[in-house]
Amino acid sequence: METEGPGLLFTIVAFIGGFSLLVFIHEWGHYIVARLFGVRIDTFSIGMGKELFGRTDQRGTRWKISAVPLGGYVKFFGDASAASNPGEIPQGMSAEERAVCYHFKPLWQRALIVFAGPAVNLIAAVLVFAVLSYNNGIRISEPVVAEVHAETPAEKAGFQAEDRILNVDGAAVDRFSDIARIVKLHPNQVIEFGVLRDNREIVLRAQIGTSYLEDRFGNRYPQGFLGVRSHTSEIIELGPMGAIGEGARQTVGSTKMIFTTLGQMILGIRSVKELGGPLRIANSIGEAANISFQYFIWMLAMLSLNLGIVNLLPIPVLDGGHLLFYGLEAIKGSPISKKAQEAGFVAGFALMLIFMLIVTLNDLQSMAL
């Protein structure tokens, strides 16, 4: 029976609350490392645009909630804008002001302040996955084939029951779920499997099949299938350190999945229509919150991971773009010219605008189905 979808108000509240929490985590990363290096912070905003309400702390930082709940920023002392663009060197400052100004800090400190935002998003994902693994345990089955389904890619490739799969396309696997994750990412592609059979290693090549996962709006997402079944899984309880290791493992696996998917879209293997924007993300968060609190937290961890990775892409206007300019500054020995930086930020802004247009159109088309 299909679960009744969440109401519009519930979805909006869950989205704004969840996404604002992720923005806070991201901006707190910038804030706390900047504070560590003695940078004065003028503003810490959750949301963009006009201030709805806020307060100024004893250090002079204005903490505020702004009208548009999509994004946020930390504005450092001396910034001409909330973007903290490299090359915005303030003029006419006293020695005391230069000492607390972001733009006069050593290059390595500025780079760490920028990197801290995405890094905290990644750390948050590890910790959430770790807590869920500690509370619930992890379900594991050995990478051993229990059954090969008839007339499937696995049967055609020559798989047999009790084959132990050692690696998939050269990547070692020690759980059946690892195999499933890789296979799902490669529909209609040929993959090599390293298999242990009767105490000898063989290589099987399979043309992965394609199935489609359909959401409640009728959107269909291609995923690969092989046609094998695992043995019964078992739930393993973890201690604190084991849970942290599992959290890191899940984060690394999800990161590989994100980069593989992005690469397939760039190469045209997957359609950009699979990308979702604010509307689809809001719906996913609302549905997760409607199902259970744990699923809601897991969804936020995945979004935190995505937020961290996207912000590290070397695109001007993103944190990764700032790090790119700082890397070039380190190689060159001096900042990149203001003209070159401005051109980069204009190009980056245009690229992000096009991206937002694409994902918003995808959302509107999917909602109209």
Alpha carbon separation from 327 to 110, 310, 342 (Å, rounded): 11, 18, 17
3-state secondary structure of 193: strand
Quote the CA–CA distance of 253 and 166 in Å, as a whole number.
17
Q: How far apart are the C-alpha atoms of 280 and 362, rounded to whole Å?
A: 9
Catalytic residue, candidates 2, 4, 27, 88: 27
| DSSP string of 140-156, one letter each residue | E--SBEEEE-TTSHHHH
What is the CB neighbour count within 10 angstroms for residue 81?
9
Q: Where do the DSSP E strands lie in the chain?
A: 41-56, 62-76, 138-140, 145-148, 164-168, 171-172, 190-197, 200-207, 209-214, 220-225, 228-230, 234-236
Q: Please, what's the largest Cα pairwise distance for the chain? A: 78
Residue 27 among the catalytic residues: yes
d(CA 130, CA 133): 5
DSSP assignment of 1-54? -PPPPPPHHHHHHHHHHHHHHHHHHHHHHHHHHHHHTT--EEEEEEEEEEEEEE
Residue 333, burial from CB neighbour count under 10 angstroms (0-12, 13-18, 19+) = exposed
**Nearest by Cα to 180 from 265, 127, 253:** 253
With a CB cutoff of 8 Å and minimum separation 6, the contacts of 112 are: 33, 37
In this structure, the dihedral spanned by the alpha carbons of residues 199, 205, 209 and 215, taken in order and rounded to 10 degrees, is 70
**Residue 355: exposure state from Cβ atoms within 10 A (0-12, 13-18, ≥19):** middle
Q: With the C-alpha atoms ordered 310, 312, 318, 324, is the resulting torsion angle positive or negative?
A: negative
Sign of CA dihedral 343, 346, 352, 355: negative
User: Which residues are the active-site residues?
Assistant: 27
